[in-house]
Structure 1
Amino acid sequence: RWAGARVVTTVSGPAKAALARAAGAHRTVDYRTQDAVAEILDFAPKGVDIVVEVAPGTNAALDMAVAAQGAVVAYYSGGESERLSVPVLTSLPTNLRWQSVYVYTVPPAAKRQALTDVAAAVNAGALRVGEEAGLPLHRYALEHIADAHAALEQGVVGKVLLDIP
């Protein structure tokens, strides 16, 4: 809901849908029980301009089906064995761009701008954390770092934080 964005997101069940709505999503689509393409295009009939993707290999067909003209698929995750394969002729008419986002190699000027933008969103009250804001926090004392790591490996939903004295 920040800066005029309209957000639709795919989720894997009711609990994650509730978190996404609390975080500001205007529409949630359960990809396990709904026709994701139909639901997304119902929300955005001309397609979506930006897809933030965590499984580009798995979701490439969905991303191409819902992309607006000139859309960007920005992906920042994926398994080492995951491969992205895009049918050239299908994606050409859309002028679709696939953009990897690896924070460690983002140019310094872009990082500075991102920090400025995030600070503005925080100051405006647009970025909140906690379960009620759609981003559960799981805190661990430093001496329980192994438990924090185990939570990540088990797929905990939210952010895992270490309290460092």
Structure 2
Amino acid sequence: MKAIQMLAAGGPEVLQLAEVAEPAIDGAGQVKVRVHAAGVNPIDTKLRSRGLFFPDALPAILGLDGAGVICEVGAGVNAFKPGDEVWYCNGGLGREPGSYAEYVVLEASLARRKPKSIDFAEAAAGPLVLLTAWEGLFDRAALQAGQTVLVHAGAGGVGHVAIQLAKWAGARVVTTVGTAEKAAFVRALGADHVIDYRREDFVEAIAKWTDGRGVDVCFDTVGGETFTRSIDATAHYGSLITLLEPAAGTVWREARTRNLKIGFELMLTPLMRDLPEARAHQGEILDRCAELIDQGCLRLHVSHRYVLAEAAAAHTQIEGGRVQGKLVLLP
């Protein structure tokens, strides 16, 4: 089969189209999926440039989330049959092969039924960002109806679904963007207030929008100085959830004075640490999101679809910081 192999850590040029052995089912509980689309995420570019999470993993196939059609099932699989359409988040970290390929094999429990109302490319764009946004907003921050939430980088992959999930939950949403085009995009997603961080100070803008109170929940997808300054934008006794590790020199005095709940969101943890209960919970999240998508309450925006051989170009676009929504590869 054709696949994109990562041959070494480095720039996008280390991603090469290759002919590799087609994976085979070797466990009764596994399914084999013909991949119709694979999501491309910032974590893929970081793994490519810095190295994989597991030793002796090269050459490797990246790609955590994907969507496709089951073509074979193990002897112990009853939930699926050949021809079933699924989406999933699995592999791509250096231990199991990822979705930048024509076929993948995974445990049947990790495959979930694809939303019926969207195509494979849209479905492949969803799992990682949906799990990240859901866990951050609901599992970490316990977002409630009537609360205010700040979503940083609302036009991005995680941000654009976080806005929609927060609105579905009954929250008032403010978000930051860097262009007029992105501002129009997030407004169409339901954002109540939009801050162009290039033109105005987001802390001052939040103070004005909330009458000086700050937001109940801040969802930081940017990190660095944005995380540090978000402390001042979060209400006393509020929640500040980040996807990134705070800088070593972060000053926590104001966060402590405000009694903030600081939370970290890394949806990769169950994949890295073999936590079956957490992985089952993530499957339930995907099922719930599929329902919301089919009900018209949630949409996934794919800004560009690349053929498999153009994986390096997709990585280059992500690293340029110009992506609105998600990118996908089409094997």
- In which range does the TM-score fall when normalised by the shorter chain? 0.7 to 0.9
In 2 relative to 1, CA 87–150 (structure 1 residues): closer, same or farther, beyond 3 Å? closer
CA distance in 2, matches of 1:65, 1:7: 17
Summarize the alignment of residues 82-161 of structure 1 with structure 2, pairs less than 5 Å apart.
Answer: 83=247, 85-106=249-270, 107-129=278-300, 135-158=301-324, 159-161=326-328
Give yes or no for contact 1:75–1:100 (8 Å, CA) kept in 2: yes
Give yes or no for contact 2:175–2:193 (8 Å, CA) kept in 1: yes
After TM superposition, give the deviation of residue 61 of structure 1 in Å. 3.7
The CA deviation string for residues 23-48 of structure 1, in whole angstroms up to 9 with x for no partner, is 22111111221132222122223321
Name segments (4+ residues, structure 1) moved above 4 Å. none
After TM superposition, give the deviation of residue 53 of structure 1 in Å. 0.8
Give yes or no for contact 2:232–2:254 (8 Å, CA) kept in 1: no
Give yes or no for contact 2:227–2:242 (8 Å, CA) kept in 1: no
Give yes or no for contact 2:173–2:193 (8 Å, CA) kept in 1: yes
After TM superposition, give the deviation of residue 71 of structure 1 in Å. 1.9
Matched with 1:16 is 182
TM-score using structure 2 length: 0.43
In 2 relative to 1, CA 37–111 (structure 1 residues): closer, same or farther, beyond 3 Å? same
In 2 relative to 1, CA 2–64 (structure 1 residues): closer, same or farther, beyond 3 Å? same
CA distance in 1, matches of 2:214, 2:221: 19
The CA deviation string for residues 91-136 of structure 1, in whole angstroms up to 9 with x for no partner, is 223221222211111522441342243223213312123xxxxx35
AA in 1 matched with 2:317: A
In 2 relative to 1, CA 113–69 (structure 1 residues): closer, same or farther, beyond 3 Å? farther
Matched with 1:132 is none
> What SS does the aligned partner of 1:29 have?
strand
Identical counterparts, % of pairs: 31
After TM superposition, give the deviation of residue 10 of structure 1 in Å. 1.3
Q: Which runs of 5+ in 1 are unaligned?
A: 130-134
In 2 relative to 1, CA 39–24 (structure 1 residues): closer, same or farther, beyond 3 Å? same
CA distance in 1, matches of 2:296, 2:209: 26
AA in 2 matched with 1:91: A
In 2 relative to 1, CA 88–137 (structure 1 residues): closer, same or farther, beyond 3 Å? closer
Q: Which runs of 5+ in 2 are unaligned?
A: 1-166, 271-277
Do residues 5 (structure 1) and 171 (structure 2) align?
yes
CA distance in 2, matches of 1:140, 1:149: 11
CA distance in 2, matches of 1:74, 1:109: 22
CA distance in 2, matches of 1:89, 1:150: 39
> What SS does the aligned partner of 2:169 have?
helix
Matched with 1:162 is 329
AA in 2 matched with 1:71: G
Give yes or no for contact 1:60–1:86 (8 Å, CA) kept in 2: no
Larger displacement relative to structure 2 (106-115 or 24-33): 106-115
> What SS does the aligned partner of 1:74 have?
strand
Cα-Cα RMSD: 2.2
AA in 1 matched with 2:288: D
Matched with 2:103 is none
Give yes or no for contact 2:302–2:328 (8 Å, CA) kept in 1: no
Matched with 2:201 is 35
The CA deviation string for residues 56-99 of structure 1, in whole angstroms up to 9 with x for no partner, is 32113421111123222221246xxx715443332223221222
> What SS does the aligned partner of 2:299 have?
coil
Where is the helix percentage greater, Structure 1 or Structure 2? Answer: 1
